[in-house]
Structure 1
Amino acid sequence: MWGWDHMNGYGGWGFGWIFMILFWVLIIVAILAVVRWLSGGVAGGSGDKSALRILEERYARGEIGEDEFRRKKKDLSS
């Protein structure tokens, strides 16, 4: 009576479930993107560095000397 052609021949389990999963994944990703955008952007960007981290990078590149590094580090910690 029903034969092979009934509901794509798989009892209704064609490729529709793949599209449903993709749909929900896209919805979740969109929600996470909006939450991240509202909370101030992407973490780890150049605007997210702490002052101490920038100071350490400048010292490592040789832009400032050891005395200046220690003095500024002390200012930041107090």
Structure 2
Amino acid sequence: MMGMYGFPVIGGGWLYGVPAAVVVVLAAVLLMRLLSRRPHSGHHPAVDRNAGSSTAIQILEERYARGEIRAEEYQERLKTLGSP
């Protein structure tokens, strides 16, 4: 018996269809997971939002130490956070 496009079908065509469908579904799930990841803008540790201003000052100090902000910006933000 001849199937689509002249290829013979040997009574078990569904045997190839089920694994192929599983592969397509898994590929779609993996693709969605890859696309839904948020891009990382560098290596920053997780921040506890409830830790208060001491954590904010520590983050500010780390950014200044890495050279991400200038001395003027560091001083300005330090004043804003209420540190002497």
TM surpasses 0.5: no
TM-score (normalised: structure 2): 0.38
